Structure 1
Amino acid sequence: MLKDLFTKTKKKKYATIPSESAKQDVPEGIMTKCPNCKKIMYTKELVKNLKVCFHCDYHHQMNSRERIASFVDGGTFAEIDSNMKSDNPLGFPGYEEKLEQDRLKTGLNEAIVTGKAKVMGMDTVIAIMDASFRMGSMGSVVGEKITLAIEMADKLRVPFIIFTASGGARMQEGVLSLMQMAKTSVALKRFSDNGGLIISIMTHPTTGGVSASFASLGDYNLAEPGALIGFAGRRIIEQTIREELPEDFQTSEFLLKHGQLDAVVSRLDLREKVGAILEIHAPGGELNWQEL
């Protein structure tokens, strides 16, 4: 029955594509070219389709605000710890300037947004990593915000949902960044021991120390189609083992095939599927499988 929960996919609607002559007169930003199938679409229509390509189902990257708008119940998200900012504990040259540049570019103070929200009418605490800020890298503040969000979920006795998107540990913070792997993992273990539900949703890319810690510790480990998920890079592994790796190595589909994920779920179906999981685990909750 659980398999059936993840097999249905919403039927997609296709946008009208302008002619070649018309494209030449289209202002920049009006159209988006899919990096996978190379088809050109109206950006506005692509956004309405949750940034999933109409032609090949390629999942374009979403920032944290777009995730919130597409996933949680409207008007229910209440951000927490939004004022937390990274320092420069190791005095790494140029680090503070780069952080400030990303703050101005993204409107965020760090590479993760956390808060309380309802999903399909059910209370949750949610954490959403944002790859547009320092490539979603995990520094001390990212680890602290995740830990505080987990502790809030534990206090409120509600599920914890995390969207991961990261290049890994933040090199400018050295071992302090690596320590966040253990810190967040311990917080999740404590939450789990207290009966908490953890849903991890891995998006493109989820790599390095993030993939090796909290991203892989969900009661349900889900991923979007085609997401890159892994620890070390493909070339490093090939050079180390002196073997050529499969073409789909470290994709979400590869991990699912080898038992490292519970399901690969289209973004178009994700809210509904996660809502069904929440309903299953809700106190006294019931689920009519025939409706899935």
Structure 2
Amino acid sequence: MNKVLFKKPKNELETSSRFKRKTNPAIPQELCRSCPSCKNMSFTSDLEKNFHICSKCGYHFRINARQRLSMICDSGTFIEHFKDNTSVNRLDFPGYTEKLEQATLFSHEKEGVVSGVCQINGMDVGIFVMESSFMMGSMGQVVGEKITQIFEYATEKHLPVIGFTVSGGARMQEGMLALMQMAKTSGGVKRHSDAGNLYIAVLTDPTTGGVTASFAMEADIILAEPEALIAFAGPRVIEQTIRQRLPKGFQRAEFLLEKGFIDGIIPRNLHKETLNKLLILHSVLKGGKTNGSI
């Protein structure tokens, strides 16, 4: 049988090179990044100059702990504490040891929080910054211990504490030992507060679960980045439980500010300036000396 007679005809769209779909070359993230909110492309170098904020829509990209410390601390003043504390798989949870190793390689950090002391415009403070790229900043025994220790150190030295939170909540691989950190960190915050010291928390996207239910919401002054998700249970969990759609913006920083759960929303480029003013006001009210002016 002549196969030519049954050959499927091709149209111009199939044969013409003019209509062939062109593949866009992949752009290295080191060079450009796309905004998840407005899809605007920005040079990474421009984002770094703009505090990793989209110049078009104001979206705040997630940044790591070291980047945030460089934005807040006076140059060369940060001294890391408790940096050798690392998690171990005490419960023999399947795959947890491998996850810890992968998280260390991915984040270049030993745990989900970096803590220490620094100066902000010449004023000494205790500081901790949670690391989202280490298992989404989940709170296990070591994270809880490091945060508690920085509050204890600050209490002993009469220092204010600045905390930047980003977390998916308690670390499930550590079970009850992780949940115990909620009470442990809260105790550290309480003793620090009873000694008359200031604690300022800056909640970033996302701050959820046991972190929200403990030290993140126990600060004297609670600030947040724009559009940050701040919740105990996330919106998807709530919707699946109550089988209803949540209102737009529910659990975002703006919603919490409207309801009185936080004290202010501060863009990232104004963090250091705002923290400086609050530290000066607190020092003046305590009758102390400051190295700065409002």
Fold shared by both chains (TM-score > 0.5): yes
- Within 5 Å, give how 1:32-43 maps onto structure 2: 32-43=33-44
Q: Counterpart of 2:127? A: 126
1:239-278 matched pairs, under 5 angstroms: 239-278=240-279
Bigger mean CA deviation after superposition, 211-220 or 275-284: 275-284
- Give the Å deviation of 1:154: 0.4
Alignment correspondent of 2:4: none
Is the 8 Å Cα contact of residues 120 and 272 (structure 1) preserved in structure 2? Answer: no
Distance 2:163 2:29 in 1: 33
Structure 1 residue 24: deviation in Å?
Answer: 5.5
3-state SS of the aligned residue for 1:192? helix
Secondary structure at the residue paired with 2:202? strand
Q: Supply the distance in 2 between the matched residues of 1:286 and 1:269 (Cα, whole angstroms).
A: 23
Provide the residue aligned with 2:220 in structure 1. Answer: 219
Question: How many corresponding residue pairs?
Answer: 267
Q: Secondary structure at the match of 1:229?
A: coil
Give 2:166's aligned amino acid.
Answer: A
Fraction of identical pairs, as percent:
49
Q: Which residue number in structure 2 is paired with residue 284 of structure 1?
A: 287
Corresponding residue for 2:114?
Answer: 113
Q: How far off is 1:241 after superposition?
A: 3.4
Q: 1:225 touches 1:266 (CA, 8 Å); kept in 2?
A: yes
User: Aligned equivalents of 1:179 and 1:27: distance in 2?
Assistant: 42
Corresponding letter in the other structure for 2:77:
T
Alignment of 1:111-190 (within 5 A): 111-190=112-191
Name the CA distance, whole Å, in 2 between partners of 1:28 and 1:201: 27
| Contact 1:279-1:285 within 8 A present in 2 as well | no
Contact 1:229–1:252 (CA<8 Å) still a contact in 2?
A: yes
Higher relative contact order (CA 8 A, sep 6+): 1
Query: Which stretches in structure 1 are left out of the alignment for 5+ residues?
Result: 1-22
TM-score (norm 2): 0.87
Contact 1:128 1:163 in 2 (8 A): yes
Answer yes or no: is 1:73 the counterpart of 2:74: yes
Contact 2:29 2:44 in 1 (8 A): no
Higher-Rg member (1/2): 2
Return the alpha-carbon distance in structure 2 between the equivalents of residues 92 and 150 of structure 1. 30
SS at match of 2:204: strand
SS of 2:126's partner is strand
Does 2:203 align with 1:202?
yes
Q: CA deviation at 1:236?
A: 2.3
| Cα distance, 1:28 vs structure 2 | 4.7
- Larger CA deviation: 93-102 vs 268-277: 93-102
Runs (4+) of structure 1 exceeding 4 A deviation are 23-28
